[in-house]
């Protein structure tokens, strides 16, 4: 059965490697990764304060084929999304209604409610908000409909801890290296230099942080990275730190919430300062970049929320602020698909070369149908109880759906056959925190050679086991936006991309959670 009208045969990808070629390519790939910082810390019961070993990140031996037309579309969309989510974060009334603890998701989702209530208290104090910075990533899958051209469909939009930008750049370099070294054994005509798109995500993300630092106005201030304890994905963060120092002469300090409890304070002007044992005087913070704080486990006690709210009260530019983090909620993604909602954020759209209606049409075409489980409307009696329309639709269509909560980090969704039992146990008051989304249908038959680092042996070595399996690849586009200026303008830029590839049998897609490997792109024509 012909699934799409594209001339590229996805089902024939990747070219078949002989056993000797596979062994050689794996050796080249893993040694390149180890030599070029494409790394994780090993999985240990407790990470030592001074790391003494590392393993390569999970990776793919071949890049993923992406139609040139859809890659260009994804890059264009990022500029639109940068501005859209900046505007959402500034719309207090909208966020209160959709995500708040009085009438929105925060009523039934404890984590969302705590963040919103802290933000509301800060607003009620009359604290003047500084500029806000977003380092974003919009994630997509290719969508195949029978006898139709491939489409680009958004999975989600990330507003906090949008990771793997720097390691994805290293993965793109890895695939260029494999091409330069082996020519991929002349196995495919699409594997040529001009089909490997450039990826400069590290410089792009650093540029966004540097723009916020410059807008803050104190060259001697530091940028604070708020990180999780025992972080294994530390090299993805360190590459940004090095770029800030080498390209912009900006220093970075890394702190966990626990460390900030003793180091952080605000002076009478709300200037955030950290008192550190390695510094003779407190240091001032210009920008706060959160690589933690997106999951309830980052806040084991009320004091952790208190630190987050202290940072929000400061004059430092938060990346993201609490409202921008709330804007990234799945419920916001669903509400935007409702008639007339997107138009409220685009009525004065003046992006060069694009009218407001064109902007709306392009964005809507990137969305799958979705709805809230709390959706009202017609009801019917099912198993002796009333069912909301949103729940009823999810029951009727469960085999084609994914249910999503207001969570980041991977591993939180409910898929297909697991949905009916989940709905049986979902309390009516919890429905508002969940959305249902039609599953995207990626092209079938595409395979990949995936390599993960093996378990550490007694000698400290790791074992590598390349596996060829049918895969699904997710494209992420990075961008940044600096906003909150008095004249309402948004400084924004699309700055790079990533690809994460997983076995088709896996529903989830996070690299850090162990479901995916890092990948890159080879552009193909239709």
Catalytic residue among 409, 410, 503, 514: 409
- Is 404 one of the catalytic residues? yes
Give yes or no for a contact between 14 and 469, defined as CB atoms under 8 angstroms apart: no
- Respond yes or no: is residue 417 known to be catalytic: no
C-alpha to C-alpha distances, 226 to 233, 304, 340, 495, nearest whole angstrom: 13, 12, 37, 22
Cα–Cα dist 349/336, whole Å: 16
The continuous run of DSSP H or E covering 402 comes out as strand 401-404
Long-range contact pairs involving 351-360 (C-beta distance under 8 Å, separation at least 24) = 351/79, 351/80, 351/83, 354/80, 359/80
Q: Residues for the chain: how many in total?
A: 526
Cα(362)–Cα(179) distance, integer angstroms? 35
Choosing from 315, 331, 431, 500, the catalytic residue is 500
What's the rounded Cα separation, in Å, for the pair 153 and 103?
30
For residue 500, indicate whether it is catalytic.
Answer: yes
DSSP assigned state of 272: E
DSSP 326: H
Q: Choose the catalytic residue: 153, 291, 393, 404.
A: 404
Cα gap 63→72, rounded to integer Å = 17
Catalytic site residue from 273, 308, 315, 330 = 330
Report how far apart the first and last C-alpha atoms of the chain are (Å, whole number). Answer: 18
Whether 137 is catalytic: yes
Establish whether 343 is a catalytic residue. no
330 carries an active-site annotation: yes
* Catalytic entry in 408, 474, 492, 494: 408
DSSP 3-state assignment of 317? strand
Residues 6 or more apart whose CB falls under 8 angstroms from that of 385 comprise none
| Whole-number Å distance between alpha carbons of 275 and 273 | 7
With residues binned 3-state (H G I as helix, E B as strand, rest as coil), the percentages for the chain, rounded to 5, are 40, 25, 40
CB-neighbour burial class of residue 385 (10 A; exposed 0-12, middle 13-18, buried 19+): exposed
Token reading at 293: 């704080």
Positive or negative: CA dihedral 390, 391, 397, 400: positive
Tokens of residue 298, six digits: 């980052």
Shortest CA distance to 328 belongs to which of 88, 518, 92? 88
CA dihedral 506, 510, 511, 512 (to 10 degrees): -130
Select which of 60, 82, 138, 158 is catalytic: 158
Please indicate whether residue 68 is annotated as part of the active site.
Answer: no
Rounded distance between C-alpha atoms, residue 429 and residue 407, angstroms: 18
Query: Do 212 and 502 form a contact (C-beta atoms < 8 A)?
Result: no
Active-site residue among 87, 114, 137, 331?
Answer: 137
Question: Active site residue: 138, 163, 168, 321, which one?
Answer: 163
Rounded distance between C-alpha atoms, residue 233 and residue 252, angstroms? 17
290 burial via Cβ count (<10 Å: 0-12, 13-18, 19+): buried
Could you say which of 156, 169, 312, 474 is catalytic?
Answer: 156
The sign one gets for the Cα dihedral 394, 296, 265, 163 is negative
Q: Residue for token digits 């999304």?
A: 81
Catalytic positions: 137, 156, 158, 163, 330, 404, 408-409, 500
């Amino acid at each position: 059965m012909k699934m799409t009208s594209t001339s590229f045969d996805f089902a024939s990808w990747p070219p078949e490697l002989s056993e000797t070629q596979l062994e050689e390519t794996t050796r080249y790939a893993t040694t390149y990764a180890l030599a070029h910082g494409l790394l994780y810390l090993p999985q240990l019961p407790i990470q030592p304060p001074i790391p003494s070993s590392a393993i390569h990140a999970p990776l793919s031996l071949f890049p993923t084929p992406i139609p040139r037309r859809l890659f260009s579309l994804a890059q264009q969309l990022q500029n639109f999304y940068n501005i859209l989510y900046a505007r959402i974060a500034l719309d207090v009334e909208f966020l209160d209604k959709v995500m708040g603890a009085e009438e929105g998701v925060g009523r039934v989702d404890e984590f969302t409610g705590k963040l919103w209530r802290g933000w509301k208290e800060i607003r009620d104090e009359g604290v003047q908000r500084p500029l806000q910075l977003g380092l974003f990533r919009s994630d997509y899958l290719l969508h195949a409909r029978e006898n139709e051209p491939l489409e680009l469909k958004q999975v989600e939009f990330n507003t906090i801890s949008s990771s793997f930008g720097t390691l994805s750049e290293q993965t793109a370099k890895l695939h260029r290296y494999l091409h330069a070294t082996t020519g991929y054994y002349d196995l495919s005509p699409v594997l040529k230099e001009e089909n490997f798109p450039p990826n400069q995500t590290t410089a792009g993300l650093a540029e966004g942080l540097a723009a916020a630092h410059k807008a803050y106005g104190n060259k001697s201030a530091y940028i604070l990275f708020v990180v999780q304890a025992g972080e294994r994905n530390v090299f993805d963060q360190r590459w940004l730190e090095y770029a800030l120092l080498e390209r912009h002469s900006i220093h970075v300090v890394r702190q966990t919430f626990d460390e900030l409890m003793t180091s952080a304070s605000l002076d009478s002007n709300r200037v955030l300062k950290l008192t550190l044992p390695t510094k003779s005087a407190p240091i001032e913070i210009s920008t706060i970049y959160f690589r933690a704080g997106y999951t309830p486990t980052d806040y084991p006690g009320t004091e952790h929320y208190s630190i987050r709210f202290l940072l929000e009260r400061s004059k430092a530019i938060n990346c993201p602020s609490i409202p921008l983090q709330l804007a990234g909620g799945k419920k916001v993604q669903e509400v935007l698909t409702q008639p007339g909602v997107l138009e409220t954020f685009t009525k004065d759209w003046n992006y060069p070369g694009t009218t407001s209606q064109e902007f709306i049409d392009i964005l809507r075409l990137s969305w799958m149908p979705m709805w809230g489980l709390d959706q009202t409307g017609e009801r019917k009696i099912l198993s002796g109880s009333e069912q909301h329309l949103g729940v009823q639709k999810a029951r009727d269509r469960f085999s084609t759906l994914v249910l999503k909560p207001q969570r980041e980090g991977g591993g939180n969704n409910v898929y297909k056959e697991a949905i009916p039992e989940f709905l049986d146990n979902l309390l009516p008051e919890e429905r508002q925190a969940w959305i249902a989304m039609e599953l995207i249908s990626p092209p079938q038959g595409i395979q990949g050679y995936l390599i993960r680092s093996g378990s550490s042996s007694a000698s400290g070595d790791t074992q590598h086991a390349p596996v060829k399996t049918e895969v699904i690849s997710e494209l992420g586009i990075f961008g940044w936006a600096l906003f909150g200026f008095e004249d309402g303008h948004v400084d924004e830029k699309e700055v790079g991309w990533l690809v994460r590839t997983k076995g088709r049998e896996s529903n989830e897609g996070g690299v850090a959670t162990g479901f995916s490997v890092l990948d890159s792109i080879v552009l193909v024509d239709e």
